[in-house]
Amino acid sequence: MNEIIISIKPNFVDKILCGEKTAELRTRRANLLPGTKMWIYSTLPRGEICAHAYVDYVLTDTPESIWKQFCDDIAITEEEFWQYVGTRDTVSVIKMTEVDSVDEGVTLKHIQAKIGAFCPPQFFMRLAQDNPIRSLLYQAS
């Protein structure tokens, strides 16, 4: 199974967990297969992997098209959307399914104490089968 860690701001993580946000907007192309497990890292000040979801599908298109199709799914205002996408020609949206919280969040400090140097990804990072972070995540979920 394909797995990634994706960094998302805490206020948006909360919106994902309550079901208000069902799609994640990215300004770079997100080459993810349907069924990819997304471990959701809530950025500082929370600083923990606290949820997971699965990729339903990814769509890359013009900002205008993405806004029209997903304005109700990305949980931001139109002004915030245009401020975020700027002058980019294309943006990606990751439609999520099967969102669930991790029983015990895995903090950045815990990961670093167990496996050493780890910096949360700016965009996302793929998790190989033998990545030691995987075992920490499965122990917590």
pLDDT per residue as tens digits for the range 33-83:
999 999 999 999 999 999 999 999 999 999 999 999 999 999 999 999 999
DSSP alpha helices (H): ranges in 1-141?
10-17, 63-70, 78-85, 108-115, 132-140
pLDDT of residue 118: 87
pLDDT of residue 116: 86
| Mean pLDDT of all residues in 86-110 | 94
Structural domains for the chain: 3-133 (2.30.130.30)
